[in-house]
């Protein structure tokens, strides 16, 4: 195994471990709060995340990604300029949230929560002064510092979830958990830094960040529509549309299904982004090597997307009741569509990363613009009083179109062959379609649901390995290296 392969596999294992812990902690927090508070209060808590995400995405120039992608990303002046920009961004976002606290509470019909929206301003203010050194270290495929910050922050918040939820018994528990996470994140980023924290203004680097980040800034607006737009419509529709049937309880139910299907997707997406962006950037000057690595990424992610979504399609409704309780049973109607939507989102990570590695940051912006058209369908569904399942269907159709646009643009701008991503996508899509068509018959009880999931996933693995023989080699390298690292740790 080459040194590059060793670094990638070792880095991937570290990232994977960190993401597993982070996602498990997030999952545990959502279960704790969902069990301790009502669906309506859980819906109110979801509005806090929506508000924070909106301003974060509206102001994100992705300076942290520039520290990884740019040739001069290791320069102290670029990093200090990025940290200054981050501090300014956090302060402005905090001021905006504080000023809009009362209007936001009125929009969602929860005037009693205006004080909570005002306190939410602490989150961007605190995070704005985080140290970006652990982002810089990722350009050298050194993920240990970022993993430490993620794990410690999530564990801290999870340990606090039960006492806060038990004590407060309402939406304010989520607010203080968000504040606690922000404090842990910022302090942790300084503890793992190798450089002294510094803020400085260098016009040439600020200009470079603006040029690199403006497409990603617009993309952030679109990302809000993707990640939070549907929940925003559900939460505010009773105030906007006369015929809407959605309530804050529906928002809580939908948020449970959304978060449950999103968690494994974000795990894979975050690991792949941190791992494959530097890997693809290293060979951006070699078409042959770049296409080979891009193909391997596409195959692995498509296999993971199918393997994660199929069990949700078959048994997602039962999982919601088992984990969150019968009061969230309504999520079963929409969770299959959300699982398929997130699978496509996972697959779209590959062409997006490939384009970014080649310096094309507009690929994500354009494909997300297409994805955001689903919001029009969601608005129509809410206005016409449609069932919650149509929100998931609209999201799936939007993600399907966005994935196609991302792949085609990568081919048009950079000459990367379409089939490198489409072939594994086709196999994964066929598997999900099979699961969807048979789920109504197989999901009536646990045994047929589990056995059907295992059968379809197994057939998908066989098909992927048969069509892509190199995938078998790549997986063998990862398994062997994982075993070797596990043995080293046990020996210690």
End-to-end C-alpha distance for the chain, whole angstroms: 23
Position 486 scores a pLDDT of 38
Q: For residues 13 and 396, give the distance between their C-alpha atoms in angstroms, rounded to a whole number.
A: 30
The residue assigned the tokens 């449609």 is 386
Q: Does 444 score more than 90 pLDDT?
A: no
Q: For residues 225 and 229, give the distance between their C-alpha atoms in angstroms, rounded to a whole number.
A: 4
- As a whole-number percent, the residues of the chain with pLDDT over 70 amount to 86
What mean pLDDT do residues 388-410 have? Answer: 93
Ranges 10-14, 19-23, 141-145, 340-344, most confident: 340-344
The residue assigned the tokens 């969602």 is 108
Of 483, 443, 428, 430, the closest CA to residue 336 belongs to 443
Residue 267 in contact with residue 18, Cβ under 8 Å?
A: no
Helix (H, G, I), strand (E, B) or coil at 169: coil
Q: What is the DSSP string of 447-464?
A: HHHHHHHHHHHHHHHHHH
What mean pLDDT do residues 318-339 have? Answer: 87
Residue 374 in contact with residue 463, Cβ under 8 Å?
A: no
| CB atoms closer than 10 angstroms to residue 454 | 13
Of 118, 429, 441, 411, the closest CA to residue 287 belongs to 411
Q: For residues 245 and 256, give the distance between their C-alpha atoms in angstroms, rounded to a whole number.
A: 18
Token couple for 3: 């040194």
Q: For residues 238 and 196, give the distance between their C-alpha atoms in angstroms, rounded to a whole number.
A: 50
Query: Higher pLDDT residue, 289 or 309?
Result: 309
Residue 138 in contact with residue 281, Cβ under 8 Å?
A: no
Position 459 scores a pLDDT of 93
Position 4 scores a pLDDT of 52
> In the structure, what pLDDT confidence band is assigned to residue 9 with cuts at 50, 70 and 90?
low
pLDDT in tens, 101-155: 888 888 777 788 889 989 999 999 999 898 888 877 776 667 778 888 888 998 9
CB neighbour class for 455 (10 Å; exposed up to 12, middle 13-18, buried from 19) = middle
Residue burial 265-302, b: 16+ Cβ < 10 Å; e: rest: bbbbbbbbbbbbbbbbbbbeeeeeebbebbbbbbbbbb
Residue 190 in contact with residue 197, Cβ under 8 Å?
A: yes
| CB atoms closer than 10 angstroms to residue 480 | 12
CA distances from 162 to 33, 41, 120 (A): 8, 16, 20
> In the structure, what pLDDT confidence band is assigned to residue 3 with cuts at 50, 70 and 90?
low
Ranges 214-223, 237-246, 415-424, 440-449, most confident: 415-424
Token couple for 231: 């929940």
Q: For residues 401 and 421, give the distance between their C-alpha atoms in angstroms, rounded to a whole number.
A: 15
> In the structure, what pLDDT confidence band is assigned to residue 338 with cuts at 50, 70 and 90?
very high
pLDDT in tens, 79-92: 888 888 889 888 98
Position 492 scores a pLDDT of 35
Residue 335 in contact with residue 260, Cβ under 8 Å?
A: yes
Q: Does 47 score more than 90 pLDDT?
A: no
pLDDT in tens, 370-386: 988 898 999 998 888 88
Torsion of CA 395, 342, 56, 133, to 10 degrees: -160
Q: For residues 278 and 185, give the distance between their C-alpha atoms in angstroms, rounded to a whole number.
A: 23
Residue 293 in contact with residue 280, Cβ under 8 Å?
A: yes
Query: Higher pLDDT residue, 475 or 486?
Result: 475
Residue 220 in contact with residue 88, Cβ under 8 Å?
A: no
Position 491 scores a pLDDT of 40
pLDDT in tens, 143-158: 778 888 888 998 999 9
Position 13 scores a pLDDT of 62
Token couple for 1: 């195994």
> In the structure, what pLDDT confidence band is assigned to residue 425 with cuts at 50, 70 and 90?
very high
């Amino acid at each position: 195994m080459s040194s590059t392969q060793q670094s990638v596999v070792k880095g991937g294992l570290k990232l994977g471990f960190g993401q597993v812990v982070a996602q498990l902690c997030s999952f545990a927090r959502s279960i704790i709060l969902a069990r301790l508070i009502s669906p309506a209060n859980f819906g109110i808590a979801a509005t806090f995340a929506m508000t924070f995400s909106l301003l974060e995405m509206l102001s994100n120039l992705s300076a942290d990604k520039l520290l990884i992608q740019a040739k001069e990303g290791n320069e102290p002046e670029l990093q200090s300029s990025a940290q200054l920009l981050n501090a300014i961004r956090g302060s402005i976002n905090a001021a905006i949230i504080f000023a809009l606290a009362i209007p936001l509470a009125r929009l969602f019909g929860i005037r009693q929560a205006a004080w909570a929206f005002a306190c939410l301003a602490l989150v961007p203010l605190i995070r704005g002064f985080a140290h970006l050194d652990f982002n810089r270290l990722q350009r050298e495929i050194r993920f240990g510092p970022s993993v430490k910050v993620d794990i410690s922050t999530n564990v801290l918040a999870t340990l606090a979830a039960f006492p806060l939820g038990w004590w407060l018994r309402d939406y304010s528990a989520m607010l203080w958990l968000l504040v606690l996470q922000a404090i842990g994140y910022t302090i942790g980023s300084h503890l793992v830094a190798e450089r002294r924290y510094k803020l400085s203004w260098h016009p040439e680097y600020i200009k470079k960040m603006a040029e690199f980040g403006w497409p990603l800034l617009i993309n952030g607006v679109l990302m809000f529509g993707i990640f939070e737009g549907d929940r925003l419509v559900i939460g505010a529709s009773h105030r906007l549309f006369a015929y809407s049937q959605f309530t804050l309880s529906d928002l809580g139910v939908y948020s449970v299904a959304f978060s449950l299907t999103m968690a494994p997707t974000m795990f894979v997406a975050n690991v792949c982004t941190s791992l494959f962006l530097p890997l693809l950037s290293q060979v951006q000057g070699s078409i042959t090597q770049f296409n080979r690595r891009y193909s391997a990424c596409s195959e692995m992610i498509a296999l993971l997307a199918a393997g994660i979504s199929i069990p949700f399609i078959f048994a997602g409704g039962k999982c919601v009741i088992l984990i969150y309780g019968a009061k969230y049973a309504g999520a079963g109607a929409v969770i299959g569509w959300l699982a398929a939507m997130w699978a496509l989102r996972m697959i779209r990570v590959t062409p997006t990363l490939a384009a970014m590695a080649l310096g094309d940051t507009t690929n994500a912006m354009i494909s997300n613009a297409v994805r955001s058209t689903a919001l029009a369908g969601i608005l129509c569904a809410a206005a016409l009083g449609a069932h919650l399942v149509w929100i998931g269907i609209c999201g799936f159709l939007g993600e399907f179109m966005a994935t196609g646009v991302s792949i085609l643009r990568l081919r048009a701008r950079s000459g990367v062959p379409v089939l490198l991503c489409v072939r594994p996508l086709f196999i994964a899509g066929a598997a999900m379609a099979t699961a969807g068509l048979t789920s109504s018959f197989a999901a009536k009880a646990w045994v047929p649901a589990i056995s059907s999931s295992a059968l379809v996933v197994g057939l998908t693995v066989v098909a992927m390995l048969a069509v892509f023989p190199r995938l078998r080699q790549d997986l063998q390298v990862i398994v062997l290296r994982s075993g070797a690292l596990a043995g080293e740790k046990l020996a210690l």
